[in-house]
Chains A and B, each alone.
Chain A
Amino acid sequence: DQQVKQNSPSLSVQEGRISILNCDYTNSMFDYFLWYKKYPAEGPTFLISISSIKDKNEDGRFTVFLNKSAKHLSLHIVPSQPGDSAVYFCAASPLTGGYQKVTFGTGTKLQVIP
């Protein structure tokens, strides 16, 4: 039972264009959402997060959008760069029951083509 779903296993984008990575969740108790980035042979690293009281959070080229009614979030990367090529994991944590218990999706592999 995947509570956090990333339905696109891979995505290819031209350098300079926008990359949009999508994520859906099913658990209404999730109130904090994160994106992690993972390079081969390395552990995931934190990229950006958003609380459920917001619908947008921006950090440089990275913006996360949250649509609570649709239980959907997305990560936008503008402009995309070859160094952004990595696997991106969407993650969520609950308000109660152990906020440290983060649930991850299956990941989307982004390839930015020079």
Chain B
Amino acid sequence: DAGVIQSPRHEVTEMGQEVTLRCKPISGHDYLFWYRQTMMRGLELLIYFNNNVPIDDSGMPEDRFSAKMPNASFSTLKIQPSEPRDSAVYFCASSQTPDRGRRDTQYFGPGTRLTVL
């Protein structure tokens, strides 16, 4: 399997512009997660989906952030309008429902480094 695929790997944009980050989870995985990594806060969970349905978006910082999962093999994280403080590395991860009594681990993509000027 190719693993979790994210695009683009790097994005540089100007304040006020719309940014769309993309993710393809591992085939067969029914959970998808979006994280943001910063020095101050480490890895923060923004939102996660189960079977394409958003389960918990309490980590989404503001209304400027939105995420969708139109099908089992694709998800987007959109920031509109972007601000310099959104500069961070954004990771997508996926996992599958584990067997009863077990916990499955998450598989991370390589991340998208976002710079907002």
Contact = CB atoms under 8 A, between A and B. Distances in A.
Contacts of B103: 32, 49, 51, 93, 99
A31 B110 CA distance: 28
Interface string A37-49: 0000111111001
A103 interface: yes
Nearest to B35: A104
Given A89-B43, A106-B40, A43 B105 contact: no
Interface residues of B, number: 26
A2 B38 CA distance: 13
A49 B105 contact: yes
Contacts of A93: 103
Contacts of B91: 43-44
Instruction: Tell me what chain B mostly uses at the interface: helix, strand, loop, or mixed.
Output: strand
Interface string A11-35: 0000000000000000000001010
A103 B55 contact: no
Residue of B31, B41, B43, B48 ringed by the most chain A CB atoms within 10 A:
B43
Interface of B: 4, 31, 33, 35, 39-45, 48, 50, 55-56, 91, 93, 95, 103, 105-111
A-B complex: 4 closest residue pairs judged by Cβ atoms:
A43-B108, A106-B42, A104-B43, A46-B105
18 contacts: A32-B103, A34-B105, A43-B4, A43-B107, A46-B105, A46-B107, A51-B103, A89-B42, A91-B43, A100-B31, A100-B33, A100-B48, A100-B55, A101-B56, A102-B106, A103-B45, A104-B35, A106-B41
